Amino acid sequence: MPPIGETIARRRVFWFLIVLVVGPTLALAFYGLTGLKDQRDATEARLRERYMLQARVLEGGIIARLAEEDALLRQALARQSPEGVSIALATIIAESVIIRDAWVVGDEGAPRAVEAAAEGLSANEPVTFVSTEDGGGLSTVAVSRVREGLTIGYRIDPDAIDAVIIPALVGRQFPSERAQYGLRAATREQAGEPVSFERLRRNLAENLAESEPMIDRAMAPPFEQWRITVVPPLDTGPGSSAAIIWTVLLLAATTVTGVILMGRAVVQQVRLSRLQTDFVSNISHELRTPLTSIRLFIETLQSGRVKDPEKVRECLDIIATESERLTRKIERVLTWARMEAGRRTYEFELVRPVDLVRSSLEAFRAQQLHGEAKVSLLVPEDLPLVRVDTDAMADSLLNLLSNARKYGGEDVHIRVLGAVERRWVVLTVADDGPGIPRDERKRIFEKFYRPDVLVSRRTEGSGLGLAIVHAAVLAHKGRVDVESEEGRGARFTVRLPRA
């Protein structure tokens, strides 16, 4: 568990990140969303203005088409005898697109609203439009005076206008427009008063002067039950609000991801700082120990208290051993410094794996000061050659052997194995020591890191050995892995490409 002071420091760093990263990001997001909203509102306003004008143009085109239809109908009936009017009406209804029903005013079956409109019809008003109830809904009927003594009424079909007339008008008036235009009939409680053609023109002129910002727009009376609708494309109309929603989600996800990544980076830097502090403390202690021994035995020899030649030789041997130990520690730190700075150079040559392992074992046995560990060499002589820097790879294997000896205990049994796996030459250093805890395995190759177990506290180490091994193997285009179970030892496997 991290110390309380370190935990408080991490919390402070986290909240600092919240203020430093989340605050400006949310401010930028709010500014961007405000800009997007303003842009959407401006676009929507322009679209509504354009579509409103187009709806008015369509209304004029519909009324003009109704006038044309009425003129054609009156021409077709003008010269018909009274007996032939009904037959001609039936033919017109069958051939017309927008006429649904027709009656001769005065005959049985004509709606009362049509009869009432015909009574006030004058010669100057050849056609009058009136709204009538039709099955609970409101329909538009045209009352037209064909000639003296012949007045007819006919119901206009809004569905036909929507399906036939409007597409033709849109194709002619707005050929490149992608919006969807339509006409739908609404219902109301009571029918309106008859409206003459001249009044219809005035109503339309008055309506054109208005600036009502609507896309679902009612036509001028008596067509108020008809509403012209304009549905803009999804990518340009009000539906673009979905883009704002996705933008908000993207900005929120980016903010959260950024905070998490920066938080992890800062926590890793805090952890690395602590490891560096521990490294300085450990390496200072490890350098001081051999220096103290060397100084102690030199002072002993200088004082002349040791006269026996055998004792003198023993003191000199200890001084030499401690000097070599001190040199190895300093060389390890310098090696890592060169790797970090990118100044480490490798001289590759073809080497037999078994010779590489034997070179590491010789150096390993020379370093054992407190009795030799039991080591089994199980590397076949006929393994394929590898192209390596002999010193670098021998030192890497030596690091693995030394770790197995240090952390495995006094009675540890170390095995060095060799095999071939497809394009790899595999060298494994295995021991039967206490093993490595699961949560430590992912970090043991980090620089300055030492497993936080009791055995690591009792042994010397800088936390650079496995980091140097990992960097050296990667430089040889290989990889190093670890397998371990607590209480059942550890296996470090180095895979090198075959030559």
When pLDDT is averaged across residues 250-277 and rounded to a whole number, the result is: 68
- Asked whether residue 363 is domain-assigned, the answer is yes
pLDDT at residue 34 is higher than 70: yes
* Lowest-confidence pick of 110-124, 220-234, 463-477: 110-124
pLDDT at residue 195 is higher than 80: no
pLDDT in the model for residue 17: 64
Q: Name the amino acid, one letter, at 432.
A: D
pLDDT at residue 281 is higher than 60: no
Mean pLDDT for the chain? 77
Q: Which of 285, 286, 266 is nearest to 274 (CA)?
A: 266
The token duo for 416 is: 């060095």
Q: Is 462 within 8 Å of 286 (Cβ atoms)?
A: yes
Contacting residues for 33 by C-beta, under 8 A, at least 6 apart: 244, 247, 248
pLDDT at residue 215 is higher than 50: yes
pLDDT digits 0-9 by tens, 435-491: 888 877 777 887 766 665 444 444 555 667 788 888 889 889 999 999 988 888 899
Q: Which band of pLDDT confidence, cut at 50, 70 and 90, is reported for residue 40?
A: confident
Structure-model confidence comparison of residues 461 and 304, the more confident one: 304
Instruction: Decide: pTM greater than 0.85.
Output: no
C-alpha–C-alpha distance, residues 394 and 373, integer Å? 18
- Asked whether residue 339 is domain-assigned, the answer is no
Last residue of a domain, one of 236, 254, 279: 236
pLDDT in the model for residue 481: 92
When pLDDT is averaged across residues 86-91 and rounded to a whole number, the result is: 84
When pLDDT is averaged across residues 212-241 and rounded to a whole number, the result is: 70
C-alpha–C-alpha distance, residues 56 and 174, integer Å? 13
pLDDT in the model for residue 119: 80
pLDDT at residue 202 is higher than 50: yes
pLDDT digits 0-9 by tens, 315-326: 887 788 778 767
Residue 438 backbone zone (phi > 0: left; psi -120 to 50: alpha; other: beta):
alpha
- Asked whether residue 402 is domain-assigned, the answer is yes
Q: Which of 364, 485, 468, 484 is nearest to 416 (CA)?
A: 364
Distances, alpha carbon 34 to alpha carbons 26, 30, 245, 312, 336, in Å: 12, 6, 12, 87, 53
Distances, alpha carbon 481 to alpha carbons 16, 174, 301, 306, 464, in Å: 37, 70, 48, 51, 16
Structure-model confidence comparison of residues 449 and 167, the more confident one: 167
C-alpha–C-alpha distance, residues 77 and 102, integer Å? 12
Structure-model confidence comparison of residues 245 and 101, the more confident one: 101
pLDDT at residue 229 is higher than 80: yes
- Asked whether residue 296 is domain-assigned, the answer is no
Structure-model confidence comparison of residues 179 and 442, the more confident one: 179
pLDDT in the model for residue 456: 45
Asked whether residue 111 falls in the same domain as residue 228, the answer is: yes
Distances, alpha carbon 474 to alpha carbons 364, 416, 423, in Å: 23, 20, 16
Distances, alpha carbon 48 to alpha carbons 62, 216, 383, 438, in Å: 20, 10, 80, 65
CA 223 to chain CA mean position, Å: 52
Q: Which band of pLDDT confidence, cut at 50, 70 and 90, is reported for residue 416?
A: very high
Last residue of a domain, one of 236, 262, 284: 236
- Asked whether residue 360 is domain-assigned, the answer is yes
Number of domain units in the chain = 2
From the number of C-beta atoms within 10 Å of its C-beta (0-12, 13-18, 19+), residue 480 rates as buried
pLDDT at residue 84 is higher than 50: yes
pLDDT in the model for residue 355: 92
* Lowest-confidence pick of 163-167, 178-182, 415-419: 178-182
**CATH (domain of 351):** 3.30.565.10
C-alpha–C-alpha distance, residues 471 and 248, integer Å? 43
Q: Which band of pLDDT confidence, cut at 50, 70 and 90, is reported for residue 197?
A: low
- Asked whether residue 334 is domain-assigned, the answer is no
Q: Let me know how many helices (H) and strands (E) the chain has, helices first.
A: 13, 15
pLDDT at residue 61 is higher than 50: yes
Residue 227: domain span: 4-236
- Asked whether residue 208 is domain-assigned, the answer is yes
C-alpha–C-alpha distance, residues 463 and 450, integer Å? 5
Asked whether residue 181 falls in the same domain as residue 47, the answer is: yes
- Asked whether residue 88 is domain-assigned, the answer is yes
Last residue of a domain, one of 191, 213, 236: 236
Instruction: Count other C-beta atoms under 10 Å from residue 199's C-beta.
Output: 17
pLDDT at residue 374 is higher than 80: yes
pLDDT at residue 245 is higher than 50: yes
pLDDT digits 0-9 by tens, 287-301: 666 777 778 778 877
Asked whether residue 361 falls in the same domain as residue 221, the answer is: no
Q: Which of 74, 64, 92 is nearest to 145 (CA)?
A: 74
